[in-house]
């Protein structure tokens, strides 16, 4: 049996202590840490500023579990969907979304998802396991490479809108973001990162207490409990009042605007009272609304509402000075759009 430890589970301090314990210098730990994160090395052999003995010693004690791009699909609109194979053979999906001025990575936080949103393909997979910090980090590294290769510039933004509920894998997501933003990792600015949650109030409060610097988006889809519960059943556990209060707490502490993600469906949330409820919900704290185009996951009960219904939403929100954007979906032809990530291939 392979007893070797995943070296990237160690903090920098632990690495330094490992070398001290092996009668070596602590700074050796810094060198290895830089190889593992900043340079994203895949093997100890690559660590050319270490002696052969040191590399062999590391190889005897540790493994570097790294992810592999198992399959890559390119959409006609330039979107790239990657099937990312983890060290235990499980697959998650990560997407590169280019626009004229920037490239965005959409990354996964779990294999599958424990939530049960009726309109989302990932929900059908159930939750198989949480991703480790390095597995989240590696997705970003892989997509950054593609951004440089196909678009001649580094990755500009990251959204946690792939598979899984990031706040149900809180510690690992925060550890990954710490590495992504650290100069010892990828050195990206936290304000270019958005974590999207279905809305777990206790964890939203924790984010505020932890004084995180990234952005928060909430998949709202309805501001009426009854409706929201019918499409996102976990809403019974985390009802809108609790969600709202946690968001007020977030705003008080961070002073950062929330983004509400919202899909309008035929016969589900396209009535006047649905719009009124959203307008009222938006009044509680500074926010903006992203109306997302629905990406069908089968020919079932969910259908994108009419342009008229959408326009009703837009005009009502704007009338109340609420910022609203319409988000056209990307990568639809390769099932890479929101809610379509489900390892189809």
Question: What does the binding site for ligand SAH look like in residue numbers (CB under 6 A)?
Answer: 119-120, 161, 165, 196-198, 219, 261, 263, 292, 294-295, 297, 338-339
- Site of tokens 């007020």: 248
Give the CA distances from residue 22 to residues 29, 58, 125, in Å, rounded to whole numbers and listed in that order: 11, 11, 44
Nearer to ligand SAH, 132 or 198 (CB): 198
Tokens of 317: 């929100």
Query: In angstroms, what is the minimal distance from the CB of 159 to ligand SAH?
Result: 8
- Cα–Cα distance, 119 to 300 (Å, whole number): 9
Query: In angstroms, what is the minimal distance from the CB of 26 to ligand SAH?
Result: 40
Neighbours of 22 (CB within 10 A): 13
Q: Is 117 a catalytic residue?
A: no
- Judged by DSSP in three states, 74 sits in strand
Task: Note whether 279 and 320 are within 8 A (CB).
Answer: yes
- Alpha helices per DSSP H over the chain: 12-21, 26-36, 52-61, 133-151, 170-181, 201-209, 225-231, 240-254, 272-282, 307-319
Query: In angstroms, what is the minimal distance from the CB of 267 to ligand SAH?
Result: 16
Nearer to ligand SAH, 197 or 215 (CB): 197
Nearer to ligand SAH, 65 or 259 (CB): 259
CA angle 137, 143, 146 (to 5 degrees): 150
Nearer to ligand SAH, 32 or 204 (CB): 204
Query: In angstroms, what is the minimal distance from the CB of 252 to ligand SAH?
Result: 22
Tokens of 66: 């790294």
Catalytic residue from among 53, 93, 226, 261:
93
Please give the helix or strand (H or E) that residue 159 lies within, else none.
strand 157-160
152 φ, ψ (degrees, to nearest 5):
60, 20
- Judged by DSSP in three states, 69 sits in strand
Q: Is 93 a catalytic residue?
A: yes
Task: Note whether 179 and 137 are within 8 A (CB).
Answer: yes
- Site of tokens 């059943």: 233
Nearer to ligand SAH, 156 or 197 (CB): 197
- Cα–Cα distance, 59 to 46 (Å, whole number): 12
Nearer to ligand SAH, 62 or 119 (CB): 119
Nearer to ligand SAH, 29 or 162 (CB): 162
Query: In angstroms, what is the minimal distance from the CB of 127 to ligand SAH?
Result: 11
Query: In angstroms, what is the minimal distance from the CB of 293 to ligand SAH?
Result: 7
- Cα–Cα distance, 164 to 175 (Å, whole number): 16
Provide the sign of the torsion angle of the four alpha carbons 206, 209, 215, 217, taken in this order. positive
Catalytic residue from among 106, 117, 282, 338:
338
Query: In angstroms, what is the minimal distance from the CB of 245 to ligand SAH?
Result: 19
* Catalytic residue numbers, as ranges: 93, 338
């Amino acid at each position: 049996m392979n007893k070797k430890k995943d070296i990237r589970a160690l903090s920098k301090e632990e690495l330094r202590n490992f070398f001290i314990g092996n009668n070596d210098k602590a700074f050796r730990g810094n060198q290895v840490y830089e190889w593992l994160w900043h340079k994203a090395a895949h093997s100890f052999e690559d660590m050319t500023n270490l002696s052969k003995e040191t590399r062999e010693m590391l190889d005897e004690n540790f493994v570097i579990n790294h992810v592999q791009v198992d399959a890559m699909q390119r959409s006609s609109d330039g979107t790239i969907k990657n099937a990312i194979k983890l060290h235990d053979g499980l697959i998650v999906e990560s997407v590169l979304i280019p626009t004229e001025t920037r490239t965005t990575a959409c990354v996964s936080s779990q294999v599958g998802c424990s939530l049960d949103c009726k309109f989302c393909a990932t929900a059908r997979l159930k939750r198989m396991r949480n991703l480790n910090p390095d597995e989240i980090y590696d997705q970003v590294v892989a997509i950054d490479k593609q951004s440089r290769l196909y678009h001649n510039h580094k990755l500009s933004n990251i959204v946690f809108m792939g598979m899984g509920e990031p706040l149900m894998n809180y510690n690992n997501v925060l550890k990954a973001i710490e590495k992504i933003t650290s100069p010892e990792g990828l050195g990206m600015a936290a304000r270019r990162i958005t974590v999207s949650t279905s809305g777990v109030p206790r964890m939203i409060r924790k984010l505020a207490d932890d004084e995180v610097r990234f952005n928060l988006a909430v998949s709202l889809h309805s501001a009426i409990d009854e409706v929201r519960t019918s499409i996102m059943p976990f809403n019974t556990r985390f009802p809108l009042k609790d969600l709202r209060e946690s968001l007020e707490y977030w705003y008080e502490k961070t002073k950062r605007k929330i983004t509400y993600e919202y899909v309008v469906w035929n016969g589900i949330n396209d009535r006047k009272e649905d719009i009124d409820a959203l307008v009222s919900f938006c009044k509680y704290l500074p926010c903006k609304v992203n109306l997302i185009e629905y990406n069908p996951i089968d020919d079932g009960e969910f259908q994108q509402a009419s342009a008229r219904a959408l326009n009703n939403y837009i005009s009502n929100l704007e009338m109340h000075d609420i910022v609203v954007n319409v988000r056209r979906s990307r990568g639809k032809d390769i099932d890479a759009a929101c809610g379509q990530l489900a390892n189809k291939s």
